[in-house]
Amino acid sequence: MRRREFITLFLATLAAPPFAAHAQQSSKLPTIGFLGSGTPAAQGQWVAAFVERLHEFGWIEGRNLAVEYRWAEGRPDRAAELAAEFVRLKVDVIVTYANPMVAATKQSTSVIPIVFAAAADPVGTGLVASLARPGGNLTGLSAQMTDLGSKRLELLRDLIPGLRVLAIIVNVSNSASVLEMREVRSAARTKGLEVETLEIRRAEDIAPAFEELKGRADALYICVDTVLFANRIRINTLALAARLPTMLSNREYVEAGGLMSYAPNFSDLFRRAGELVDKVLRGAKPADIPVEQPTKFDLVVNLTTAKALGLTIPPTLLVRADEVIE
């Protein structure tokens, strides 16, 4: 089966309601508890890449593997409840991503292996002891979001040479988001830029943050965060209304009308998470599996949004883009 056909079929399956027999099957087969931060519609492509890689290692759902899917739907407060459900089900390994989800899962069990497909700064936020020796029951892949802050700022300056005031929206309840904000703020001030930091804790804080920002910045940097990602369409709409160019944490924002993102290729991270899960299912301990780092990064630009903002994307930036949305 070709990859595109596989992903299409898988997404249809993911959206379908679970069957009662599935729970019985889970008790007989090695079982993965997959905890998603958003929804199948928004993040199903990532999950499809993960499952496809497992297939390549011989793990076939319904034949020699069971997968229990749970989705937090953009609400990090649900993570502990859903992780606790996996503990009750006695799954063999929990797979998740996004720091609030990983942290809640870590708190729920010190026994069940946990593989995170993407964590923004797993060492800086205390999820693991080190990349080489994660320790405990966790391993996975770093998304290096903190490290990418300076690079994203440079891309914004390439787009807006006259950039003077940078606004940053950060969910201060998310430690990874706070670390990224500090890195970007430090880099911006080193370059002589003024910084406006807008703090949120919940979805209801987003619109007031934009009201507070009105007329005070030349561009907007959105830190990585589950709540912000779940509200990416609203954020893009508010940014466009405020005439603010945006630097975003992944391509899904840009697909939804944002201006530009520079980030690891998340589908690739999830494929590689499948490799780590294969090792765990075959007996390896997470503590002995080094945390891996991204090798593929994507610069994605939305020309339609640029036009709406009255911006001309420099040819040098377009040449560097991995994807241009028109």
Where are the domains positioned within the chain?
3-143+265-296, 149-264+298-325
Flag whether pLDDT at 16 surpasses 80.
no
Measured CA angle at 96 (ends 247, 76), to 5 deg = 65
CATH number of this structure's domain 149-264+298-325, picked from the four choices 3.40.190.10, 3.40.50.1980, 3.40.50.2300, 3.30.470.20: 3.40.50.2300
What pLDDT is attached to residue 277? 98
The rounded percent of the chain whose pLDDT value lies above 70 is: 92
26-56 per-position pLDDT tens digit: 457 999 999 999 999 999 999 999 999 999 9
Flag whether pLDDT at 262 surpasses 90.
yes
3-143+265-296 matches 149-264+298-325 in fold? yes
Name the CATH superfamily, with its identifier, for domain 3-143+265-296: Response regulator (3.40.50.2300)
What pLDDT is attached to residue 13? 53
* Buried b / exposed e along 3-25 (16+ C-beta atoms within 10 A): eeeebeebbeebeeeeeeeeeee
* Average pLDDT score over residue span 218-236: 96
Residue 148 zone, left/alpha/beta (φ > 0; ψ -120 to 50; rest): alpha
* Average pLDDT score over residue span 116-123: 96
Task: Give 11's pLDDT tier (boundaries 50, 70, 90).
Answer: low
* Average pLDDT score over residue span 207-215: 93
What pLDDT is attached to residue 28? 79
271-297 per-position pLDDT tens digit: 999 999 999 999 999 999 999 999 999
CA 204/CA 88 separation, integer angstroms: 33
